[in-house]
Amino acid sequence: MAFALGLGTPFHGTFHALSRRSRRVPPLRRSCRRSSPLIRPREHRAERADPASTPFIVGSVSKQFTAAAIALLIEQGKLSEEDDVRKYVPEVPDYGKRITVGELVHHTSGLRDFWTLVSLAGLRLDDAFGVDDMLQLAARQRNLNFAPGTEYLYSNTGYVALGVIVQRVSGKSLRVFAADNIFGPLGMTASHYHDDHTMLVRGRAAAYSPAASGGWRINIPNNEVVGQGGVMTTVEDLLAWDENFYTGRVGGPGFLRRQLTVGALSDGKQLDYAYGLEVRNYRGLPIVEHGGSTGGYRAETLRFPTLHTSFVALCNASNADPTTLMRRVADVVLASRLVDPLPAVSVRSAGATSVAPAVGVILPQAALSRYAGKFYSDELDAVYLLVTADNGLVLQRARGAADTLQVIDARTFRGAGITLNFSDDAARVTVDAGRVRGIEFRRR
């Protein structure tokens, strides 16, 4: 059985549920099947579409398809999880430590996340970046976040590299390889890697974000980076893909086992991240899931494999929370099957990070003045200006709002999602920001 939500507020507000019963699963007391037309802005209301067949960009939900392409090549004997990434992507610097294909898949490579790098560099997230731009940015990084295999840290760079590997091993672009080997065989005719942002797609959902002044603004990504994301698909197509996890129509049993095999760190600690999928438990039942976020699009796929029941949410407003939404729907639909109590806190989607608030301290003005000045990073090709103000430091950078930094200790300052650590002589500062660690700036 599969339930799906083609959901998006404010302009595509709809509930759509599709059900498929498996003979192995007793039917639920009452299956839900309800459909309503997409709600569009007034000027577009003449256009109507079935929400289940409306194309959305699904962000990191795409990772399972990129990983599936890698798994297919491994099953075909054209690639190995243990292969050195630089065998296929020499643009990745030689860090003196081998990074394997498997470490890219499971986010244990240590490669710095490119979207975080873009933000730190003061570049616009809505610039028309391509895969080559991301490879060039990755090539400038002199260090890893950590030694490969020793930690888990979500990295979009790793999945862009996997997409490049698919292209260079198969001789086909990721878009064509997926069409020939995944989407085509499964009849997912509305699905593709959207590697040309100018391409017209009939009936696609636009995406929106709340405007600061009230109302809404368009928020549609116009980059052409694929691998980490980039798939455009529909609720119906995702349900066809979901069914493949039971039938193995694409890939066969070995492929299915590989997709759901979680990674492990070098110390043996097992992760919950498999091939672009998170494998864990929810309220006493095993689940397989992944979320996605790009521009104003939000997405979530949630599968209860032992019940042959899945939930899909595709949203086109950036304030939507499909991960929580799908759990709430599952709580109702599977109420008699979920034995554990409701969790006290919501589950964060893949790759989410948080920083605990710190208690600030006060430094004298003379101490603060040591850290004022211009600092340059050749890894980002960016200049940061630090100025003193009101017993603190203010960080100014290109295209970014001024960030008032909180004093953590005599050499450490923290702003919105960023931490600065100064050297003893205040000639250097290293920057940590979520999925990026240790970017070095030097005083100019």
Token pair belonging to 350: 């893949």
| Average pLDDT estimate for 55-60 | 97
Domain carrying residue 78: 2-333
| Terminal Cα distance for the chain, rounded | 62
Token pair in block for residue 98: 């081998």
Residue 31 pLDDT greater than 90, yes or no = no
> Is 27 within 8 Å of 307 (Cβ atoms)?
no
Residue 187 domain-assigned? yes
Whether 46 and 157 map to the same domain: the answer is: yes
- Structure confidence at residue 305 (pLDDT): 97
319 shares its domain with 376? no
Beta partners for 338?
none
344 part of a folded domain: no
Listed in sequence order, the residues at least 6 apart from 8 whose beta carbon sits closer than 8 Å to its beta carbon are: 14, 56, 205, 207, 314, 315, 316, 317, 320
Which pLDDT belongs to residue 126? Answer: 77
150 and 295 fall within a common domain: yes
Looking up tokens 């243990």 gives 82
431 in the same domain as 327: no
The alpha carbon of residue 135 and the mean position of all alpha carbons in its chain are separated, in whole angstroms, by: 18
Q: Which residues pair with 317 in a beta bridge?
A: 208
- 323 and 408 fall within a common domain: no
Q: What is the 3-state secondary structure (H, E, C) of the chain?
A: CEEEEECECCCECCCCCCCCCCCCCCCCCCCCCCCCCCCCCHHHCCCCCCHHHCCEECHHHHHHHHHHHHHHHHHCCCCCCCCEHHHCCCCCCCCCCCCEHHHHHCCCCCCCCHHHHHHHCCCCCCCCCEHHHHHHHHHCCCCCCCCCCCCCCCCHHHHHHHHHHHHHHHCCCHHHHHHHHHHCCCCCCCCEECCCCCCCCCCCCCCEEECCCCCEEECCCCCECCCCCCEEECHHHHHHHHHHHHHCCCCHHHHHHHHCCCCECCCCCECCECCCCEEEEECCEEEEEEEEEECCEEEEEEEEHHHCEEEEEEECECCCCHHHHHHHHHHHHCCCCCCCCCCCCCCCCCCCCCCCCCCCCCCCHHHHHCCCEEEEECCCCEEEEEEEECCEEEEEECCCCCEEEEEEECCEEECCCCEEEECCCCCEEEEEECCEEEEEEEEC
Tokens of 360: 């600030």
Q: Could you tell me if residue 345 is inside a domain?
A: no
Q: Which of 312, 333, 354 is the last residue of a domain?
A: 333
Which residue is it, tokens 């301290």? 361
**Taking 50 as the threshold, does the pLDDT of residue 382 lie above it?**
yes
State residue 41's pLDDT score: 41
How would residue 13 be classed by pLDDT, with cut points 50, 70 and 90?
very low
184 and 299 share a domain? yes
Checking if the pLDDT of 25 tops 50, the result is no
Tell me, yes or no, whether 359 lies in a domain: no
Instruction: Verify that 80 and 141 share a domain, yes or no.
Output: yes
Same domain, 239 and 318: yes
Tell me, what's the pLDDT at 351? 53
**How many CB atoms lie under 10 A from the CB of residue 432?**
18
What's the rounded Cα separation, in Å, for the pair 83 and 73? 12
Count CB atoms within 10 A of the CB of residue 4: 26
According to DSSP, the β-strands at 403-409 and 309-315 are unpaired
- The per-residue pLDDT for range 225-260, each reduced to its tens digit, is 999 999 999 999 999 999 999 999 999 999 999 999
Domain contains 339: no
User: In the chain, how many domains are there?
Assistant: 2
Q: What is the CATH number of the domain that holds 418?
A: 2.40.128.50
387 and 267 in a common domain: no
**Does 243 map to a domain?**
yes
The percentage of residues in the chain with a pLDDT greater than 90, rounded to a whole number, is 77
For residues 275 and 402, state if they share a domain.
Answer: no
Q: Do residues 329 and 373 share a domain?
A: no
pLDDT the model gives residue 45: 46
**pLDDT for the residue numbered 346:** 53
Q: pLDDT tens-digit profile of 178-203?
A: 999 999 999 999 999 999 999 999 99
Kindly state the average pLDDT of the residues 86-102.
97
Residue 85 has pLDDT above 70, yes or no: yes
Q: What is the CATH number of the domain that holds 312?
A: 3.40.710.10
Please report whether residue 360 resides in a domain.
no
Residue 349 maps to a domain: no
Give the per-residue pLDDT at 390: 76
Judge whether 262 and 274 are in contact, CB under 8 Å.
yes
pLDDT score for 431: 97
Q: Is 59 left (phi over 0), alpha (psi -120 to 50) or beta?
A: left
With cut-offs at 50, 70 and 90, classify the pLDDT of residue 350.
Answer: low
Instruction: Give me the pLDDT at residue 51, please.
Output: 81
pLDDT of residue 46: 43
Q: Are residues 309 and 375 in the same domain?
A: no
| Residue that has been written with the tokens 């589950």 in this structure | 347
